[in-house]
Chains A and B, each alone.
Chain A
Amino acid sequence: MGEPVLAAEHLTKRFGDRTAVSDVSFEVPAGEVFGFLGPNGAGKTTTIRMLVGLARPDRGRVRIRGLDVAKEFSRAMAHVGCIVESPDLYPYLTGRENLLHFARMLPDGAAARIPGLASLVALGERLDDKVSTYSLGMRQRLGIAQALLGAPDVLILDEPANGLDPAGIREIRRLVRSLAEERGISVFVSSHLLSEVEQMCDRVAIIHRGKTLSTGPVAELLSRAASGHRVVARPGERALDVLERVFPGRVEREGPETFLVAAGGADIPAAVRALVEAGVEVAAVERRASTLEDVFLEITGGETV
């Protein structure tokens, strides 16, 4: 893996009696997209605030390219671009004025990157409009352009898909993948959506109530979650009888004619055949993607989010 570009070592943060983040550690090597997955309030944003020096950890430290953020703040931050919580920029300035503003806070040469970045995030023709007229998706992209101004080695994005439509989410995903693959940038992405992390990240850490529960490749994580199918069939009573016979103990009645079946795709054709033979009309069978809750249930052994 080589030297990690971003490393969190035993980060702990308390607010009064409440421990918001407890002993969180991870490493992100160059060119990796690292997902930080957890429900709202799990401690994701607090962790990010410590990564970028906005909040001081009570214990532990953050190193960026080996530089301790608490001790060598300016040198460490020269390698980082970030969006914390939401892409807040100055609404009364234009997109270009915002980028120029932050370019002035960087070494010479940052301003020269503005045209390239504007086209990278597809903001070209709106760059001279006031940010107050931007949609959330455009602000998100302007935020990313801002984060890339200093040609960083690490990009830290907090819930980049929040408030975006599906097309916008797809765009961000493509952008993040290409930054990692083509420019070798390490990207740290927080999210509360499993599907987002699944499609964007190489590796993922799951955070729950301030603690990291599991860290590993995305596929490994997903395989631990139960998958299942939703079946809609009528009449409901007869359908329940048939399903109980085919999948004993694995059927849950969700509605009068809706059932959740804890079974993989291979068992489904036989079940449909049995239903049809018993005179049950099958209206729909759909794969139920594993959700974050499923993963949590699996990892925590039944404790709910």
Chain B
Amino acid sequence: MKFLPLVENEVLKLWKRRRFRLVLAILIALIGIIVFAQVEGRRRFHTKDWRIDTQEQVARMRNWLRQSRLPDTQRRWVQFEIARLQYHLDRNINPEDTSGPLFSRGFASASSYLLLPLLAIVFAADIVSSEFSEGTVKLLLTRPIGRRRVLASKLVALLLAVGLTVLVGGIVAYLFGGLAYGYRGWGAPFLTGFRMTPAEALDSSAVRAVPLWQDALLSFGLAWFAAAAVAVIGFMTSVLLRSTAASMGTMFAALILGTILPRLASTWEFQKYLFVTNLPLPDYATGTPPPIPGMTVPFSVAVLAVWAAGALAVSFEVFARRDVLA
């Protein structure tokens, strides 16, 4: 039996349910607001000379370190930022020289730990459970097609939707960012490879410049991978809980846990094996400090892959075996 018509069905349902249009609207609105806020902020607080701005920023952050009692992760990040800015100052490179492409690349790392996974969950949470709550699962699973095949078609549709969301996010960020900062600059050099030494100093020995498009591609790839892993785990909760609200609630709680844990309990090292802690991986691909020291991109990719594989195994086994009593 052919498989593509099943995927076509699932994509059609995603689209007709207006989920997809809602997610695209959210993306466009959010990115629009961010660009607007950034442009406004720059106009107010920035002088004409980027060196003065950057020096002021470094001074401000040094003050933070002296005065306030920052949590460990934030302290590490501020130290890193100071060192990174100083590195740029020393070499006379404007760290905030922005462009549409640069904004788009920034969107990938800023959205991979919360926004994109959240949107992925909007799709994943009800792609299975809605069939139960609407009772249509009784028809879907009494057609001459095996249950695993039906579930696989839903999985493919979900991954397509997540991929399209990341793609549209990147394009919209580029278009809006370009409107504010200009559309050129994909080939501009981008500094990557900053590292923290164990003594928490900046290790710039591995810093190198790559063309921006190369780093942007990596960032979006990692952001897609993170969102897809979350989607697959949300897919499992949708299968297990058979309720859209319960599945969304569980997944949102997990995501929020992922943003809180590294801040409030940074010494609990085991959290690096939780999928939520590994989501900001495009961020530390360039060298910013990871949530827990010692986490690397390959490590996070592996952790997410193991979680996703486990979620898939559970989803398919449970879905294929369980009695449908909806």
Contact in complex: A77, B144 (CB < 8 Å): yes
Residues of B within 8 A of A102 (CB): 139, 143
Set of chain A residues within 8 Å of B146, measured between Cβ atoms: 73-74
Contact: A85 with B144, CB < 8 Å?
A: no
Q: Does A245 contact B (CB under 8 A)?
A: no
Q: Are A85 and B134 in contact (CB under 8 A)?
A: no
The winner among B16, B17, B139 for most chain A CB atoms within 10 A is B139
Residue of B nearest to A143 (CB): B139
Give the chain A neighbours of B67 by CB distance below 8 A.
none
Contact with B along A181-205 (1 / 0, CB 8 A): 0000000000000000000000000
Contact A89-B323, Cβ < 8 Å, known A74-B146, A106-B143 = no
Contact status B134-A88, CB under 8 Å: yes
- The interface residues of chain B lying within 8 Å CB-to-CB of A88 are 134-136, 138-139
Q: How distant is the Cα of A102 from the Cα of B146 in the complex, in angstroms?
A: 14
Q: Which residues of B contact A75 (CB under 8 A)?
A: 144
Contact B6 A56 (CB under 8 A): no
Judge whether B9 is part of the interface by a CB distance below 8 angstroms.
yes
Given contacts A49-B323, A91-B134, whether A84 and B1 have CB atoms under 8 Å apart is no
Give bound CA distance, A101 to B13, whole Å: 9
B interface majority secondary structure: loop
Contacts of A91 in B (CB 8 A): 134
- The interface bits of chain A over 78-120 (1 if a CB of B lies within 8 angstroms of the residue's CB, else 0) are 1010101110111111000100011011110000000000000
Q: Could you give, for residues 116-152 of chain B, a 1 whenever the CB lies within 8 Å of some chain A CB and a 0 otherwise?
A: 0000000000000000001110111111111000000
Of A52, A89, A97, A107, which is within 8 A of B142 by CB? Answer: A52
Residues of B with C-beta under 8 A to A52? 138, 142
Could you tell me which A residues sit within 8 Å of B by CB distance? 49, 52-56, 73-78, 80, 82, 84-86, 88-93, 97, 101-102, 104-107, 146, 150
Sample (5) of A-B pairs whose CB atoms are under 8 Å apart: A49-B324, A54-B138, A73-B144, A77-B143, A104-B9
B residues bordering A, Cβ < 8 Å?
Answer: 1, 5-6, 8-9, 12-13, 16-18, 134-136, 138-146, 323-325
Given A49-B324, A85-B135, A106-B144, 11 more contacts at CB 8 Å? A53-B141, A54-B142, A54-B325, A75-B144, A82-B142, A85-B138, A88-B135, A89-B139, A90-B134, A92-B18, A101-B9
